[in-house]
Structure 1
């Protein structure tokens, strides 16, 4: 796979808006999980989440844009603007047909859809709803690709534009797809990433029903505890990350600063169970092995693993087994961490947010920690970098994702350069 460079980055995350603020949070090991404030969660089993302190107008969106866009779209556009400015690329000098967009999301415009349902149904009292009460943007809320369209309008893209919706691996899959658009010659520049704003009653109720989210409401900051013996599930999050992708050789030729190079990406799936995972980790291990082959990277070359690390018992054990199966003895030597301990699990967006963390780990030569990891699960016996970040020489990062439906994705990032 031809190397693709990440030359621009934009991040909206819990605890900080902007890539610098995001890195400051995770490098310090601080958590952004707290009691839910976006709606009244008093009747729910899990009442904690990782929310973004996001004022759309403060971050440059006009009143009409705020009214038109779902919260997830607002996140994505703010990220796209940051990434474009950060890249130093003059987008108006790139042919529009050579600019593409690849955006990921698991649940689309959930926030606006639920708000409109509440209004149209009179808080659920009416089965038959009068469309006269609907906002003009309702159709757009029902079509997830409108999220990618908003980013395309922002960057003037008239090339390939896609919304990738593969659940919790969407943020990895969208960037992998964007990289392939460049390597296959379909685009010269791609804005790739993911966005999600799922902290709403309907999403919380769904995860409550399957008992996937943490009920540790008395300790919001400590509720997300990946790989810890006393973990009780994941903490829902929200946010976005968007990148400017270019051919690495062309990026170097124009003197661009490169955060990281995408060396390889692969996916695997299975028909095992809608939400369950085999304990042996075989499916994720196969995705990792395929990625290493494409990247022409050996297990010994991996210096850091940015884990999916959701904080559910079955995922953490499955993932630990997958690292051992795919990397062999190297799995015991390489540091591993989960940033979900600090920014929660933002479903389709988290894969891109974790790519941002991986690229910044390469740039800063620092491995972010796994917060709240005080008592490791004996079945999770790797080096999970507990509590405090670690200076570490890093040339290659493996970042992985796992999602309902059997989706397993893996990506290898190589160290970029600064000019």
Structure 2
């Protein structure tokens, strides 16, 4: 793998919740229009970021990997409500066109279930590393909390009936929430030449496919171990160099046990302590946008020299017992973090970043 030379220079985030969730109510964003809500949010965030670029740029050399994980779903659901699926609804579902008018370069969408947001950052960094564009928008948006969608997750048994509390012995799933985040990526040398200070460096990444089925993430800590080790190798850092690990941490039985087992294999057994947590009890699970949102949250915490606690965690599950999982905020001396995301169907991604303080 070619070493990453990509930095994050700006970002915009909008989420429905920023405080500890104490019930099981899905968190929705409020928009003036209910039509194509995810696309509306993705374009809104993208236009804010691209509108702040302080230098002239060539649209042909401007790329985007901004994605919604359920393109056109609102149109499909509206058509179902009316009893007829229109040709426009199918066209919107297929096209997934969510870029500002002044983006004329490579546009790549990455539909990877709940790993979509992190895949978008990885693919954006790859476009820049391969010199396919000079600047790139990366991120994801999710605003699809229609009763049909929530009902599907309930049938799968992953929605909490109480409140989100990853790694807690009483956890019973996640609370879905809407939100999104879009960042502007550049090559580091280009940012320096334009006099732009970056907020974080992208040091490396990894993408994998686990042995899973379309509606589950198989409990397999070895897949997570391989993902983390591959990301660290590609970033050319040692596990001891990490300051913080943002876990996928959904609060479901299988996910949390698998992640805790992976941490024990990589860190506990080597007597290495790296603080790790999930912030989904603070933001809800933003589904396809989770990886993008959690990348920005990780940057913000690292910039402030802080590792966040696993919010909502009160009594850790013995099967999730791990030295690394935080129950309280912790001050940090280093600023390198890794973000993990997994999606139904087996998509897995990891992103290694270094925040600029």
The whole-number CA distance in structure 1 between the counterparts of 2:91 and 2:138 is 21
Aligned positions, number: 354
How far residue 138 of structure 1 moved from its aligned partner, in angstroms, is 3.0
Instruction: State which of 145, 158, 183 in structure 1 corresponds to 2:96.
Output: 145
The whole-number CA distance in structure 2 between the counterparts of 1:331 and 1:6 is 32
Task: Please tell me whether the aligned partners of residues 237 and 345 of structure 1 are also in contact (alpha carbons under 8 angstroms).
Answer: yes
How far residue 111 of structure 1 moved from its aligned partner, in angstroms, is 2.8
The equivalent of 1:111 in structure 2 is 74
- 2:119 equivalent to 1:173: yes
The whole-number CA distance in structure 1 between the counterparts of 2:241 and 2:157 is 38
- 2:60 equivalent to 1:97: yes
Answer with 1 or 2: which has the greater Rg.
Answer: 1
Post-superposition CA distance 1:99-157 (Å, at most 9, x none) = 000023322232332122212x1xxxxxxx4x7xx5x95344322522x3xx232xx11
Post-superposition CA distance 1:184-209 (Å, at most 9, x none) = 00000000001111211111121111
Post-superposition CA distance 1:155-214 (Å, at most 9, x none) = x11110021101111111111000000000000000000111121111112111121111
The whole-number CA distance in structure 1 between the counterparts of 2:270 and 2:297 is 22
Post-superposition CA distance 1:272-313 (Å, at most 9, x none) = 444445544111211111111110010000110011000001
Q: Which sections of structure 2, spanning at least 5 residues, go unmatched?
A: none
The whole-number CA distance in structure 1 between the counterparts of 2:100 and 2:244 is 33
Equivalent residue of 1:194, what SS?
strand
The whole-number CA distance in structure 2 between the counterparts of 1:111 and 1:82 is 23
Matches within 5 A, 1:231-310: 231-310=171-250
CA separation of 1:291 and 1:210: change in aligned 2, threshold 3 A: same
TM-score (norm: length of structure 2): 0.92
The whole-number CA distance in structure 1 between the counterparts of 2:94 and 2:22 is 30
Task: Please tell me whether the aligned partners of residues 308 and 402 of structure 1 are also in contact (alpha carbons under 8 angstroms).
Answer: yes
Task: Please tell me whether the aligned partners of residues 37 and 144 of structure 2 are also in contact (alpha carbons under 8 angstroms).
Answer: no
The whole-number CA distance in structure 2 between the counterparts of 1:370 and 1:178 is 29
How far residue 326 of structure 1 moved from its aligned partner, in angstroms, is 3.7
Matches within 5 A, 1:37-52: 48-52=25-29
The whole-number CA distance in structure 1 between the counterparts of 2:184 and 2:133 is 12
The whole-number CA distance in structure 1 between the counterparts of 2:263 and 2:351 is 13
The equivalent of 1:60 in structure 2 is none
Instruction: State which of 296, 306, 313 in structure 2 corresponds to 1:366.
Output: 306
Aligned-CA RMSD value: 2.2
Task: Out of 280-289 and 269-278, give the one that drifted further.
Answer: 269-278
The equivalent of 2:40 in structure 1 is 74
Q: Which sections of structure 1, spanning at least 5 residues, go unmatched?
A: 16-24, 36-47, 57-65, 122-128, 217-222
Task: Please tell me whether the aligned partners of residues 67 and 111 of structure 2 are also in contact (alpha carbons under 8 angstroms).
Answer: yes
TM-score (norm: length of structure 1): 0.79
Task: Please tell me whether the aligned partners of residues 198 and 346 of structure 1 are also in contact (alpha carbons under 8 angstroms).
Answer: no
The whole-number CA distance in structure 1 between the counterparts of 2:23 and 2:259 is 26
The equivalent of 1:42 in structure 2 is none
The equivalent of 1:19 in structure 2 is none
Matches within 5 A, 1:55-66: 55-56=31-32, 66=33
